[in-house]
Amino acid sequence: MTAQPATAAGIREVALQPTDLLDLMIRLGDLLAHETELLRAGRVAEIAPLQREKQRLTALQQKALKDFAAAGAGQAPPALRAQLAAAAQRLAQMVSDNELALRIGRAATRRLLDMVVDTINTQQRRTCRYNARLVTVNSGPPQAVTLDRRL
């Protein structure tokens, strides 16, 4: 890809070549595979920096795909079309694996948070109760609990 001034969205206003599309698909697939590895290893904090690059590569890949279709995808050499098909298949698999890892991580986090909340609720006495004369009595100071629900 040739260097051109970036637009406000960070996407270059230059027509991308079919080889650029192939490169973007491979790079996006590699990034998704790396993110999936981090998810599976429980290294969630290391994922945030990848998000901006993932968005940038996705936007560039969409633009390259439009340019490729507009230029006549059927006119590309058969070898390049085969490479693009293989890269598309790999990218689809990486997207699927990444989505599954994200869903599993989210479900596990949700389950863990629910268990923590349930445990706190069962171990904590009510802050307000009735005595023998049906008068409301405070059992003690209320306790605050904060949970970080970000994944």
| 4 close to 12: Cβ distance less than 8 angstroms | yes
Q: What is the mean pLDDT of residues 115-128?
A: 73
CB-based contact 16:63 (threshold 8 Å): yes
Q: Residue 98: count other Cβ atoms within 10 Å of its Cβ.
A: 20
For residue 137, pLDDT over 60 is answered with: no
- Residue 119, pLDDT score: 84
67 burial type by CB count under 10 A (0-12 exposed, 13-18 middle, 19+ buried): middle
Q: At a CB cut-off of 8 Å and minimum separation 6, what does 146 contact?
A: none
> Has residue 19 got a pLDDT over 80?
yes
| Percent of the chain whose predicted confidence (pLDDT) is above 70 | 71
**59/65 Cα distance (integer angstroms):** 10
- Residue 38 CA, distance from chain mean position: 11
The domains located in the chain, with CATH, are: 18-138 (1.20.58)
Neighbours of 64 (CB within 10 A): 22
For residue 129, what are the contacts with CB-CB under 8 A and spacing of at least 6? 136, 137, 139
pLDDT, tens only, 38-61: 989 988 889 988 999 999 999 999
Question: How far apart, in Å, are the Cα atoms of 20 and each of 29, 70, 80?
Answer: 14, 15, 11
pLDDT mean over 64-68: 87
Query: Mean pLDDT lowest for which of 39-53, 75-89, 124-138?
Result: 124-138
